[in-house]
Amino acid sequence: AQTVTQSQPEMSVQEAETVTLSCTYDTSESNYYLFWYKQPPSRQMILVIRQEAYKQQNATENRFSVNFQKAAKSFSLKISDSQLGDTAMYFCAFQTTSGTYKYIFGTGTRLKVLA
Amino acid sequence: GAVVSQHPSRVICKSGTSVKIECRSLDFQATTMFWYRQFPKQSLMLMATSNEGSKATYEQGVEKDKFLINHASLTLSTLTVTSAHPEDSSFYICSASRRGTNYGYTFGSGTRLTVV
């Protein structure tokens, strides 16, 4: 069975600084998808970034980028130039490419951006 | 695009009554919808997966007779909490998968259920 681990329950970062959130996972599959979702206080889940396992190139979306290390089963999220609006819970999610395609979520990291 | 509307956003009901939560994909066909439950400061716990026109698949430990899921069309799935009790109070979230793509699921805005 797949598992997703986020080892940092809480983190804080100064506005305009850079922060990295860690995520590791365990799977025996060779092809899958990985996601980072943001859940602000409104509790709306928002897709931040997506990575396909068969792509070696790390995904980037504006200030958000990932460091995908397939062999190490690591998928960290880097937020550059942090903004107050980045304050939220961040969830790492693993999605299999077979069966129901359901997500397996990590336990989340609560990020607080300080003014 | 890819908007999922979830209603109601908040509901308070009396113990023993039933509550229905709707999840609609507004601008795409959702072949699969997922229902989650989220306790305060915790992650999302998958309750069930529903495919249009077929019975939902429930995760281990989720009572299918208590949490009735219907996915009668490609744009609508409903979760009915039957004979609700205070311990059913929680935040419920749906998500939907667009047919033929895999660009990440779109989530509804969630429903806060309080059973008094």
Contacts of A106 in chain B (CB under 8 A): 43
- Does A5 lie at the interface with B, CB-CB under 8 angstroms? no
Residue-level length of chain B: 116
Res B58: pLDDT? 95
Percent of chain B with pLDDT over 90: 72
pLDDT tens readout for residues A15-72: 999 999 999 999 998 889 999 999 999 999 999 999 999 988 999 999 999 999 999 9
pLDDT tens readout for residues A63-103: 999 999 999 999 999 999 999 999 999 999 999 887 778 89
- Does A100 lie at the interface with B, CB-CB under 8 angstroms? yes
CB pair distance less than 8 Å for A102 and B91: no
Contacts of residues B11-15 at CB distance under 8 Å and 24 or more positions apart, as own/partner, are: B11/B111, B11/B112, B11/B113, B11/B114, B12/B114, B12/B115, B12/B116, B13/B84, B13/B113, B13/B114, B13/B115, B13/B116, B14/B115, B14/B116, B15/B84, B15/B85, B15/B86, B15/B115, B15/B116
CB pair distance less than 8 Å for A101 and B109: no
Is the confidence at residue B97, as pLDDT, over 90? no
Residue-level length of chain A: 115
User: Which has the closest alpha carbon to A40: A93, A7, A84?
Assistant: A84
- Does A106 lie at the interface with B, CB-CB under 8 angstroms? yes
Nearest chain B residue to A92 by CA: give it: B43
- Identify the three-state secondary structure at position A63: coil
pLDDT tens readout for residues B29-82: 888 899 999 998 899 999 999 988 888 999 999 999 999 999 888 899 999 999
